[in-house]
Chains A and B, each alone.
Chain A
Amino acid sequence: MSASLSEALQKLANYRSKNSRESLRVFELGAPLLSNDKWMKQKGDGADSYTWLEQLALAAIDVGRTGVADKCIEILSAKFPESPRVDCLAGIYIEATESPEAALRYYQNLLEKDESNAAAWKRQISALRHLGKLDVAVDELSKFLDTYYTDLEGWLELADIYSTCGRYDHALESLQHAMLLAPQNPFYVLQAAETGYTLGDLPLAIKFFMTVVDMTTSDEEEKAGDSVPDGITLRAWFGVKQCTRGLLQDVRGTAYSNTKSRVSPPTAAHLALLDELSTERLLTAYSTSTSSTAKGICGRDALVRWLEGK
């Protein structure tokens, strides 16, 4: 019995270290541990014997078993009174069970007690966003990021809020900061590229799309040119194609001279080559059966139609 329990604990720790959500699995593993009174009493008192409670509480809220979450939070707040981390967890519980206004009030109370509680501040901002008070949320988030500049999630959230309001220029600015904070992550570059594209700044967008391709492929494997683009690279190639198409149509380049980024597009000769290359790459992706599944080939007709339909 105890062997399976410690095994479950081990698995939970594994989920934690991988940072995967898997709420249902976590709940199934954790709930028996929590209801096993005898085991709960005799287990150790180390820091490790409480982290899984937090994990279980979050998972229980995720799957809607708030009773279990309540029990976890009770144990945790008895053990760590005044801990900002547990306070935050309790706040998430309130968000799940009560009205967003109540959660907002709760977070505001927390922040009045200790205005440097970054976690509570972030949750307050997300509660504000849920309530639809976007202006206040953006205001608070800007203040938050002014204080905690290194919060990557915050910058992405800000970009997201701006995008939903159609303020793509501001979203792009937020994404610049996200890229500065995580220069190694191609997904943020892709997001910036697509934001730039939506904004209509094609020269900037094509540069970013190409940067994504540059980041996700390496010289050695591409020299032969026979590798098959997939995932984020494929998406970036679609972007490149879309941009070259737009840029080639607008030969004089008048449409982009007044964009904020003032990036000059590649020369016409390079554009033509890029257009050709992206077409080639896309066709490769959709004609080899080795790429992910046979679905790749199914989409080929649609792709060819899209490539031809100028």
Chain B
Amino acid sequence: MGGSQVSLYLDPQIRDWVLFPITLVMILVGILRHYVVLLLQSPPKKMPRPAIREQRALLRSQILRETSTNSPVPPEYYKSISQELSKAFEAGTYLKDGPPKGDTPSRPPNPLTDPNAMDGMMSGMKTQAVMMVPQMVLMGWINFFFQGFVLIKLPFPLTLGFKSMLQRGIETPDMDVRWVSSLSWYFLNFFGLNGLYRLILGNDNSADGSRDMMMSPYSGPAQTPAQPQDYNKLFKAERDNLELAEALYNWNGKDVELRILRRYGKLST
């Protein structure tokens, strides 16, 4: 650590023409990004009635099942509702394209052929592009003009482990870790400006790029909520649940008279 004693003198011009511009440009790009994303956002897709019906059909049986062990509904009504639902699920009445034809094998729908799913993916990718392009341009700009610049000295000592974080782009083994290189300054801003954006733009801003950086559009189901579901299969599975609930069914009015009579002391418990 002998080299750390040697003091470096930074030209104030670097502060005025490199440090401040990089920071300012990054803030402005973030704000710009926020508004571009707002412009790109399309209103939620309107769904035709059959699609809503299909999506909500499962809810019916869930509501019915929820109270089945102490149901408010008398047995005859419960059975008729339950069996109607079961039959409808079996026959596929609730499917948005009507009951399936007998000969076509059921396969998961291809997301690329369904225009609705495509739309969802496109809007996700547009947002990604808005994030990626300016960051790439910015990084290129810094790499091209300010490669190897030392911008500031942190006012506190750090261990050697921070060297790769703070001095990216400068291959010197001996320089004090407190000096920060231009590329590292870019990364510090990239990950650290979110707090500032929150102050300027409010809580749910889309200026912060580091969040989207973590997830690519193809990296798992969390990013694609429009994952098409095979409702036919779900309905078939729900039939078993309905049967189970029917076995557990109990009407809460079944011996309500005993409860009432006991409550008022007409019957001994």
Contacts of B257 in A (CB 8 A): 206-207, 210, 266, 270, 274
Contacts of B75 in A (CB 8 A): 262-263
Out of A116, A149, A277, which one reaches B60, CB within 8 Å? A149
Contacts of B252 in A (CB 8 A): 211
Q: Is B52 an interface residue (CB 8 A)?
A: yes
Alpha-carbon distance between A273 and B52 when the two chains are bound, in angstroms: 51
Q: Say whether, besides A147-B52, A176-B77, A261-B76, A214 and B259 are in contact (CB < 8 Å).
A: yes
Contacts of B52 in A (CB 8 A): 116, 147-148
Alpha-carbon distance between A177 and B81 when the two chains are bound, in angstroms: 9
Q: Say whether, besides A261-B77, A273-B261, A148 and B56 are in contact (CB < 8 Å).
A: yes
A271 (CB) vs chain B CBs: closest residue: B257
Inter-chain contact B256/A150, CB cutoff 8 Å = no
Q: How many residues in A have their beta carbons less than 8 Å from beta carbons of B?
A: 41
Inter-chain contact A219/B261, CB cutoff 8 Å = no
Q: Is A146 an interface residue (CB 8 A)?
A: yes
Interface centre among B59, B63, B72, B263 (most CB of A within 10 A): B72
Q: Is A28 an interface residue (CB 8 A)?
A: no
Inter-chain contact B263/A223, CB cutoff 8 Å = yes
Inter-chain contact B77/A116, CB cutoff 8 Å = no
Inter-chain contact A116/B56, CB cutoff 8 Å = no
Contacts of A206 in B (CB 8 A): 257
Choose, from B42-50, B101-109, B125-133, B172-180, the stretch at the interface: B42-50
Out of A147, A150, A213, which one reaches B260, CB within 8 Å? A213
B64 → A minimal CB distance (Å):
6
Q: Say whether, besides A116-B52, A149-B60, A222 and B264 are in contact (CB < 8 Å).
A: yes
Contacts of B256 in A (CB 8 A): 207, 210-211, 214
**Would you call the interface of chain B mostly helix, strand, loop, or mixed?**
helix
Inter-chain contact A183/B266, CB cutoff 8 Å = no
Q: Is B53 an interface residue (CB 8 A)?
A: yes
Contacts of B49 in A (CB 8 A): 115-116, 147
Inter-chain contact B264/A150, CB cutoff 8 Å = no
Q: Is A276 an interface residue (CB 8 A)?
A: yes
A82 (CB) vs chain B CBs: closest residue: B43
Q: Is A208 an interface residue (CB 8 A)?
A: yes
Inter-chain contact A116/B263, CB cutoff 8 Å = no
Q: Is B267 an interface residue (CB 8 A)?
A: yes
The digit string for B239-261, where 1 denotes a CB below 8 A from any CB of A, is: 00000000000001100111111
Q: Is A173 an interface residue (CB 8 A)?
A: yes
A181 (CB) vs chain B CBs: closest residue: B63
Alpha-carbon distance between A261 and B76 when the two chains are bound, in angstroms: 5
Q: Is B265 an interface residue (CB 8 A)?
A: yes
Contacts of A281 in B (CB 8 A): 264
Inter-chain contact B72/A211, CB cutoff 8 Å = yes
Inter-chain contact A180/B63, CB cutoff 8 Å = yes
Alpha-carbon distance between A270 and B48 when the two chains are bound, in angstroms: 54
B63 → A minimal CB distance (Å):
6
Alpha-carbon distance between A176 and B79 when the two chains are bound, in angstroms: 12
The digit string for B50-84, where 1 denotes a CB below 8 A from any CB of A, is: 00110011011001100100011111110001000
Inter-chain contact A277/B264, CB cutoff 8 Å = yes
Alpha-carbon distance between A277 and B256 when the two chains are bound, in angstroms: 14
Q: Say whether, besides A189-B72, A214-B260, A176 and B265 are in contact (CB < 8 Å).
A: no
Inter-chain contact B261/A277, CB cutoff 8 Å = yes
Inter-chain contact A180/B64, CB cutoff 8 Å = yes
Contacts of A116 in B (CB 8 A): 46-49, 52
Q: Say whether, besides A204-B74, A274-B261, A115 and B63 are in contact (CB < 8 Å).
A: no
Q: Is A252 an interface residue (CB 8 A)?
A: no
Known interface pairs A150-B59, A176-B73, A223-B263; 12 further A-B residue pairs with C-beta atoms within 8 A, sorted by A's residue number: A147-B49, A149-B56, A149-B60, A149-B63, A150-B56, A180-B73, A183-B67, A211-B256, A225-B264, A261-B74, A261-B76, A262-B75
Can you list 25 A-B contacts with CB-CB less than 8 angstroms, sorted by A residue number? A114-B46, A146-B53, A148-B52, A149-B56, A150-B63, A176-B77, A176-B81, A179-B72, A180-B64, A180-B67, A180-B72, A180-B73, A206-B257, A210-B253, A210-B257, A210-B260, A213-B260, A214-B263, A217-B263, A223-B263, A225-B264, A263-B76, A270-B257, A277-B261, A277-B264
List chain A positions with a Cβ less than 8 A from chain B.
114-116, 146-150, 173, 176-177, 179-181, 183, 189, 204, 206-208, 210-211, 213-214, 217, 219, 222-223, 225, 260-263, 266, 270, 273-274, 276-277, 280-281
